[in-house]
Chain A
Amino acid sequence: DQQVKQNSPSLSVQEGRISILNCDYTNSMFDYFLWYKKYPAEGPTFLISISSIKDKNEDGRFTVFLNKSAKHLSLHIVPSQPGDSAVYFCAASVGTGANNLFFGTGTRLTVIP
């Protein structure tokens, strides 16, 4: 049973526009959330994280929003660039330890030049 769900397998966005990737979770005990980015033939790389004590965390063009009551988080990329085309994985854990991370199935983002 997937505790972290990414219901959109793919998303296409024009260069310069905003990309919004969504993630839902079922376990109310999760208190740490991460996004990983994966290019073809490479492993996922850490992108951004947020603790449940915050509702927003920003790093350059990337912002993660957390809505605890809805058990929902989203990743906003503004402006989107062709180099952002990748698969994005949402992950969640209880505590910050890497040993109990639950990943979603990923969303493939394509940024059209």
Chain B
Amino acid sequence: DAGVIQSPRHEVTEMGQEVTLRCKPISGHNSLFWYRQTMMRGLELLIYFNNNVPIDDSGMPEDRFSAKMPNASFSTLKIQPSEPRDSAVYFCASSFSYGNSPLHFGNGTRLTVT
């Protein structure tokens, strides 16, 4: 089991540029989550998908953020245009959608917007 795979591990970009973060969930998991970690707010849920369908995007900060899940094995989180306050670690996680299946997190993407 390769676990949840995120790419890139680090991203440094200039304000105004488009940023795309990628995630491959664990095979067989049917729920996928995007989180953002900051010192002030800890881990915040941005959006989650169930069976590739976005269920709750209320955590997405603003319209500059968008997420897609075109198939069961791939998801993207896009920020366009990026701003310095978007600098954070972004985690993707997956799980089964039933019972008390715990979240399995990827190793995160550290985003720095200058």
Contacts and interface: CB of A to CB of B under 8 A. Distances in A.
Interface of A: 2, 4, 6, 32, 34, 36, 41-46, 49, 89, 91, 96-99, 101, 103-106
A43 B107 contact: yes
B12 interface: no
A44 B95 CA distance: 13
Contacts of B106: 43
Interface in B35-79: 35, 39-45, 48, 50, 55-56
Given A43-B91, A98-B33, A103 B43 contact: yes
Interface residues of B, number: 29
A87 B100 CA distance: 23
10 contacts: A36-B105, A41-B108, A42-B108, A43-B4, A49-B100, A89-B42, A91-B43, A98-B31, A98-B102, A103-B43
A66 to B, nearest CB: 15
Most chain A CB neighbours (cut-off 10 Å) among B40, B99, B105 = B105
- Chain B at the A interface: SS class: strand
B97 interface: yes
Contacts of B40: 105
Contacts of A41: 107-108
Most chain B CB neighbours (cut-off 10 Å) among A2, A34, A42, A98 = A98
Contacts of A42: 107-108
B4 A32 contact: no
A101 B45 contact: yes
A46 B42 contact: no
Given A43-B105, A43-B108, A46-B102, A105 B39 contact: yes
Most chain B CB neighbours (cut-off 10 Å) among A2, A41, A104 = A41
A6 B39 CA distance: 12
A79 to B, nearest CB: 25
A99 B56 contact: yes
A91 B99 CA distance: 17
